[in-house]
Structure 1
Amino acid sequence: MTSPRPEPRHRARFAIVVFGVPALLGLVALVLALVWLPELPDPVAVHWGTDGVNGYGPAWVTILLIPVLGIGLPALLGLIALTSAGTRLPPVSARWTGAFVPALSTFLVVLATGTLAVQRGLSDAHDAGGIGGVALVGGVAAVAVGVIAWFALPADPLPAPDAATGASAGAAGSAGSSSPAIRLGPGERAAWTAVTSSPPLVVWLIIAVALVPVVVFLIVPEAWSAMIVTAVILVIALCLLSWRVTVDARGLHVRALLGVPVFHVALDEIAAVRTVQVDPLAEFGGWGIRLGTGGRLGIVTRRGPGIEVERTNGRRLVVTAPDAATGAALLTGLRDAARA
């Protein structure tokens, strides 16, 4: 089932919010920093500890962070969203992305620019005060921009899931079809297994997000909890980026390559098996373990083919995997044989 292209005004508004707002904020901050340059001490303070300034460096280091983190990182996040969604901009995904990207840009720009503002007119950067107030202002501004962006983007709901497949009618190519069965003869056994991993683009996205708290810690070492956030992000990412999917006499078994988490659907719990085409953002709002349209639980690593299993209790599990059609066909055959 195909979907209509998003209205031009939706695409234009998404582009303005996701790319235009961070670019404008970054350019204004960059101009301010360059104008302030003659008023800044040499070197400037680049690192604060519990007792004040404890690290120094050339002013260009902080100035360079403004376009890199304030414009470059948000642009990367926006491009990843558009690349994954193709020509579709589902309202839910677009609004989350549109709210997060300018909010992140606002916080980083205010933080970088604020550390320079508190040093204007000083002959010695050691005399600069703390920047806790700068971080607070950045946080409040980020929340405000994120809320405004959320309401500025279209709020049209996604179309209702198709009754037969559970796929969103608004997600192109997501319609599923019942899988044919691979029949086994008496005494025959068979198993199918595949490893499904996230594409490099998603890996780089996770690395980029993990670097944000590192930058915050480097500028404000009191925020040591930021490093804990980075560690948590990386551990979770390692658990969710790659999975082994197995179909055998046990049923469907999905296990992260690190061993946990594990999902299992026994043969006697399976009501139907379908092959589907999965669009991570359009149907699940992203990658990893996600709750998608129609109440489906998804283990989503990439855009492409997947196996959808409907349990006898009505719950559905979707897992993306290469050669999903073969896995689904064998699972259907094993389920039918178990019922015979």
Structure 2
Amino acid sequence: GVVLDPWHLVQEIAAIREKGVSITPESLMIAENTPLILPIHGELDRAREEAASKGTKIGTTGRGIGPAYEDKVGRRAVRVADLADEATLVARVDRALQHHDPLRRGLGIEAVDRDALIAQLKEIAPQILPYAGPVWKVLLEARRAGKRILFEGAQGALLDIDFGTYPFVTSSNVIAGQAATGVGLGPGAIDYVLGIVKAYTTRVGEGPFPTELHDADGERLGTRGHEFGTVTGRKRRCGWFDACLVRQTCATSGMNGIALTKLDVLDGFETLRICVGYDLDGARLDHLPMAAEAQARCVPVYEELPGWAQSTEGARSWADLPAEAIKYVRRVEELIGCPVALLSTSPEREDTILVTDPFAD
């Protein structure tokens, strides 16, 4: 399940078409029940973040995603299907503004121009509705026809609204189980879950990060890994591999295997460290506690492994890797309790060591 900014989508479609890629209702479908991100959501998102006191900022992208999900749960969202009927659209907008206008007054923002918002939605509707359809039904028919279906998560699992580092999370569920509820297929339809994990740890925005490095090693990881946020371009925070977090995520997402990426970024480190637990006020933990205040006090417990001087960049077989790199990968598998299915050694798609094919019958 997602929320959709229709104006941004139209811009993306145009940009892709300029590159010679055809986008049609046959190649792109939008679920009819998708809630829309409206301009008022972005305005509210940014105003609340600016008004937040130090220590309470979430690190939002300011795109309006959180407020759009709030409207979804509050049953006042405008959904894609609503664009097809003017009376319904007006009723949905009016219901939303009953909530938003008082909020805006409290934040010192002027009231929403109702008529202008409705006009914006009516104008964008013809560009969105051709793509609208019953996605659940299309996927069900594809599955019955024996076709293979790939679901891709958009955010890190520790940003999950329930199992992430709350409140420094996104506004929806992003662990693997959401793939089923988000598209309308049962959980039994998913037969392989592949977790995408870097050979070190990163985070964008605010929130706890036990293994974060504030030294030359952290800078080195960020520089070599080109660690900047995909949406905002913000510099990512970097740290050593956190086996506790990954093991926890493998459990909450029911992972069958992981794709371990950016192994080449670790080339040249004399010593590597892996977090194997946390110290919390003298107690040893093997998982990250749920309370934000306790998370912030967790001190990582490290295990050190020898690094390697030889380059792993471009390696496409185990034979191409130095022994220390293989030991590092194997130790990661042991600590997280999940096998490495794919190992990536450069940004190039071909530079991958395939251990287990997720699509194999």
**TM tier, smaller:** under 0.3
TM-score (norm 2): 0.21
TM-score (norm 1): 0.22
Q: Which has the higher contact order (CA 8 A, sep 6+)?
A: 1
